[in-house]
Amino acid sequence: MSSRQPFRRYQPRRGQPGRLPTPRYKVFLHRTADKELMFVVRAVMELTRFGNAEAEFRMWEAYHRGRSVVLVTHLERAELYAEQFADRGLSVSIEPE
């Protein structure tokens, strides 16, 4: 499991003007038949801060279910991750949360 803190929605304090949080997007890793499984694990570990166990979990989830949520972030960062995974030959998609 990841050691990251869970995302908490922004709640303005009393007396402060309310700001809306930026929309969140999910980055999905898709099953790839032409890549070795450990290649996928190494790519997930290199691009994210996941350890070996978490990266393997994401790989097996994508392998068995067809896709796996790698992370949830704002649009620009999600697009960056999608480009980085695509550079390694892995299929990913982005969807709103």
In a domain, 23, yes or no: no
Residue 42 lies in a domain: yes
Query: For residue 64, which amino acid is it?
Result: H
Q: How many domains does the chain have?
A: 1
In what order do the strands lie in the sheet containing 24-30? 67-74, 24-30, 92-96
**pLDDT at position 20:** 73
Asked if 86 and 44 count as a contact pair (C-beta separation under 8 A), the reply is no
Give a yes or no: residue 82 inside a domain. Answer: yes
Q: At what angle do helices 37-47 and 52-65 cross, to 10 degrees?
A: 130
The answer to whether residue 91 is domain-embedded is yes
Domain that includes residue 51, residue range: 32-96
pTM of the model: 0.77
Residue 3 within a domain:
no
Q: What is the pLDDT of residues 28-70, one digit of tens each?
A: 999 998 999 999 999 999 999 999 999 999 999 999 999 999 9
Does residue 60 belong to any structural domain of this protein? yes
CA distance 69 to 63: 12
